[in-house]
Amino acid sequence: MKMTLRERRAHSPLPLLEFHLLWQQVLGVSRAWLVAHDTDPLADASCQAYDALEARRVASEPMAYILGYREFLGRDFRVTPDVLVPRPETELLVECGLAAVSDRTAPNILDLGTGSGIVGISMALARPDACVRVTDCSEAALSVARMNARAMGTKLLFSLGNWYDSSLGSTPFEVIVSNPPYIPAGDVHLSCGDLRFEPPGALTDGAGGLSALRTIIQGASRHLSSGGALCVEHGFDQAAAVQAMFQDQGFAAVASLRDLAGIERVTWGRLPA
pLDDT at position 194 is 84
- C-alpha closest to that of 141 among 199, 227, 225: 199
- C-alpha closest to that of 134 among 124, 229, 126, 265: 124
Mean pLDDT score, 146-175? 93
Does residue 156 carry a pLDDT above 80? Answer: yes
If one compares 194 and 258, the residue with the highest pLDDT of the two is 258
Reported as a single tens digit per residue, the pLDDT across 79-100 is: 999 999 999 999 999 999 999 9
Mean pLDDT score, 113-140? 97
Mean pLDDT score, 54-79? 95
pLDDT at position 143 is 97
Mean pLDDT score, 114-133? 98
- Tell me the pLDDT band of 230, cut-offs 50, 70 and 90: very high
- Tell me the pLDDT band of 273, cut-offs 50, 70 and 90: confident
Task: For the chain, list the domains and their CATH numbers.
Answer: 5-59 (no CATH), 82-270 (3.40.50.150)
This prediction has a pTM of: 0.92
- C-alpha closest to that of 223 among 270, 177, 162, 176: 176
Mean pLDDT score, 249-257? 96
In whole numbers, what is the pLDDT of the chain averaged over residues? 95
Reported as a single tens digit per residue, the pLDDT across 189-217 is: 888 888 899 999 999 989 999 999 999 99
- Is residue 11 exposed (0-12), middle (13-18) or buried (19+ Cβ within 10 Å)? exposed
DSSP per position, 147-199: HHHHHHT---EEEESBTTBS---SS-EEEEEE----B-TT-GGGGSGGGGGS-
SS3 of 89, please? helix
Does residue 135 carry a pLDDT above 80? Answer: yes
CA 55 to chain centre: 25
SS3 of 78, please? strand
The angle subtended at Cα 62 by Cα 57 and Cα 68, nearest 5°, is 105
Dist. CA 201–CA 185, nearest whole Å? 10
CA 154 to chain centre: 17
